[in-house]
Chain A
Amino acid sequence: MSSAVIFPAQPEQILKGLGKLWTSLGEEEKQHGKPTVLRACAMTLIVATDENDGGFYVSQTISELMREHPSRGIVLCVSPEAEKSLEARVLAQCWKPFGKAQQICCEQIEIVARPESWPNVGPTLIGLTAADLPVIFWCRHQAALSPQATRDERAGLEAVSSIATKIIVDTAELNPEAALKLIADWQMQGRVVADLEWTRLTPWREPLAHIFDNLARENTFSKFHTVEVVHTGERPSSCVLYIAAWLSRPYNAKVKFKREQGYGPGIQRIVLHSDAEAIQFERSSTDCMTLSSTNGRARKYSYQDTGLAELMTEELSILGPDGAFNAAFARAQELIRELE
Chain B
Amino acid sequence: MSALVQPLPDVNPLQDPLRFARRVPPCAVVIFGASGDLSKRKLLPSLYRLFYERRISPNFAVIGSSRTPMSDDRFRDTMKDSVSKFLEDAPFDETVWKSFAQCLFYVPGDLNNPSSYDDLRVKLDAVEKSHQTAGNVLFYLSTQPSHYAEAILELGAHHLNKGNGWRRVIIEKPFGHDLNSARKLNDEIHKVFDESEVYRIDHYLGKETVQNILAFRFGNSMFEPLWNRRYVDHVQITAAESIGVEGRGAYYKEAGALRDMIQNHLSQVMATVAMEPPSVFDATNVRDERAKLLRSVRVMKPEDVPTYAVAGQYGPGKVGGQDLPGFRQEPSVDPDSQTDTYAAVTFFIDNWRWAGVPFYVRTGKRLPKRVTDIAIQFKSPPLGLFQQETKTGPREVRPNLLVVRIQPEEGISLRFLSKSPGSGMRVRPVSMDFNYGSSFGERTPTAYETLLVDAMAGDPTLYTRQDMVDASWQIVQPILDVWAHSIFDFPNYPAGTWGPKASDEMLARQGHVWRVP
A38-B74 Cα distance, complex, nearest whole Å? 49
B2 in complex: contacting residue of A42, A252, A314, CB < 8 Å: A252
Q: Does B486 have its Cβ within 8 Å of any Cβ on chain A?
A: no
Residues of chain A within 8 A of B52, CB atoms compared = 302
Q: Closest Cβ of chain A: how far from B494's Cβ, in Å?
A: 27
User: Is A205 positioned at the interface, with any CB of B under 8 Å from its CB?
Assistant: yes
When chains A and B are docked, how far (Å) is the Cα of A301 from the Cα of B100?
Answer: 10
In the assembled complex, which residues on chain A have CB atoms less than 8 Å from the CB atom of B130?
297
Q: Check B437–A97 contact: CB distance below 8 A.
A: yes
Asked if B438 contacts A67 (CB within 8 A), the reply is yes
Are A210 and B58 in contact, with the CB atoms below 8 A? Answer: yes
CA distance A67 to B1 in the complex (A): 48
A252's closest neighbor in chain B, by CB? Answer: B2
B450 cross-chain contacts in A, Cβ below 8 A: none
A339 at the interface (CB under 8 A from B): no
Total A residues in contact with B, Cβ cutoff 8 Å: 54
Give the most central of B25, B95, B102, B442: most A CB within 10 Å. Answer: B95
Chain B residues with CB under 8 A of A246: 14
B435 within 8 A of A: yes
Docked Cα-Cα span, A287 to B26, in Å, equals: 26
Residues of A near B441 (CB, < 8 A) are: 67-68, 313
Q: Are the CB atoms of B14 and A214 closer together than 8 Å?
A: no
Which residues of B (1-45) have their CB < 8 Å from a CB of A? 1-3, 6, 8-9, 12-16, 18-21, 23-26
Check: A276 CB closer than 8 A to any chain B CB. no
Q: For residue B391, which residue of chain A has the nearest CB?
A: A33
Query: Min CB distance, A306 to chain B, in Å?
Result: 12
Which residues of B61-116 are within 8 A (CB) of A? 93, 95-96, 98-99, 102
Quick one: given A68-B441, A225-B1, are A205 and B134 in contact (CB under 8 Å)? Answer: no
What's the Cα separation between A104 and B438 when bound, in Å?
A: 7
B58 touches A299 (CB 8 A): yes
Assembly CA distance A35 to B429 (angstroms): 11
- A6 contacts partner chain B, Cβ-Cβ < 8 Å: no
B392 CB, min distance to chain A CBs, angstroms? 14
Contact B96 A302 (CB under 8 A): yes
Q: Are A104 and B435 in contact, with the CB atoms below 8 A?
A: yes
- A102-B435, A251-B2 as given contacts; A220 in contact with B25, CB under 8 Å: no
CB closest residue in chain A, given B136: A216
Q: What's the Cα separation between A314 and B442 when bound, in Å?
A: 10
Of A68, A100, A207, A322, which contacts B409 at CB under 8 A?
A100
Q: Is the CB of B14 within 8 A of A250?
A: yes
Q: How far in angstroms is the closest Cβ of chain B from A54?
A: 24
Residue contact B16 to A213, C-beta cutoff 8 Å: no
A206 contacts B54, CB within 8 Å?
yes
Q: Is B446 on the interface with A (CB-CB < 8 A)?
A: no
Number of A-B contacts (CB under 8 A): 134
Instruction: Write the chain B residue with the least CB distance to A289.
Output: B95
A118 at the interface (CB under 8 A from B): no
A38 touching B96, Cβ below 8 Å: no
The answer, among B3, B98, B135, B433, for a CB contact under 8 Å with A300, is: B98
Which of under 10, 10 to 19, 20 to 34, or 35 or more describes the interface residues of B? 35 or more
Q: Assess whether A176 is interfacial by the CB under 8 Å rule.
A: no
* Residue A179 at the chain B interface, CB threshold 8 Å: no
Q: Is the CB of A225 within 8 A of B132?
A: no
A292-319 CB mask vs B (1 if < 8 Å, else 0) is 0000110111100000000001100110
* Residues of A3-43 whose CB lies within 8 A of B: 35, 38, 40, 42
Chain B residues within 8 Å of A205, by CB: 14, 16, 19-20
A222 contacts partner chain B, Cβ-Cβ < 8 Å: yes
Interface of chain B residues 434 through 468 with chain A (CB within 8 A): 435, 437-442
Q: Does chain B have a CB within 8 A of A291?
A: yes
A215 touches B16 (CB 8 A): no
Determine whether B57 belongs to the interface, using a CB cutoff of 8 Å to chain A: yes
Question: How far is the CB of B462 from the nearest CB of chain A, in Å?
Answer: 22
State how many angstroms separate the Cβ of A134 from the closest Cβ of chain B. Answer: 15
* Contacting residues, chain B, for A38 (C-beta < 8 A): 433, 435, 438
Contact A210/B57 with A35-B433, A68-B441, A215-B134 known, Cβ cut-off 8 Å: yes
| A133 on interface, CB distance cutoff 8 Å | no
Task: Check A221 against B54 for contact (C-beta < 8 Å).
Answer: no
Q: Which of B9, B134, B442 contacts A216 (CB 8 A)?
A: B134
Query: Chain A, 209-237, contact with B by CB distance < 8 Å: what is the 0/1 string?
Result: 11111111100111111000000000000
The yes or no answer to A2 lying at the interface (CB within 8 A) is no
Q: Is the CB of A222 within 8 A of B3?
A: yes
Of B6, B18, B57, which is within 8 A of A251 by CB?
Answer: B6
Contact of B99 with A225 in the complex, beta carbons under 8 Å: no
Known: A38-B433, A213-B57. A250 touches B13 (CB 8 A): yes
Assembly CA distance A205 to B46 (angstroms): 23
Given contacts A216-B26, A250-B14, contact A70 B431 (CB under 8 A): no
A130 located at the interface, meaning its Cβ lies under 8 Å from any Cβ of chain B in the complex: no
**A208 on interface, CB distance cutoff 8 Å:** yes
Does A253 reach chain B (CB closer than 8 Å)?
yes
Ranked 9 nearest A-B pairs via Cβ: A67-B441, A68-B441, A209-B14, A250-B13, A216-B134, A251-B3, A104-B438, A324-B16, A300-B99
6 pairs across A/B with beta carbons < 8 Å?
A: A70-B439, A104-B438, A223-B3, A250-B14, A253-B1, A300-B98
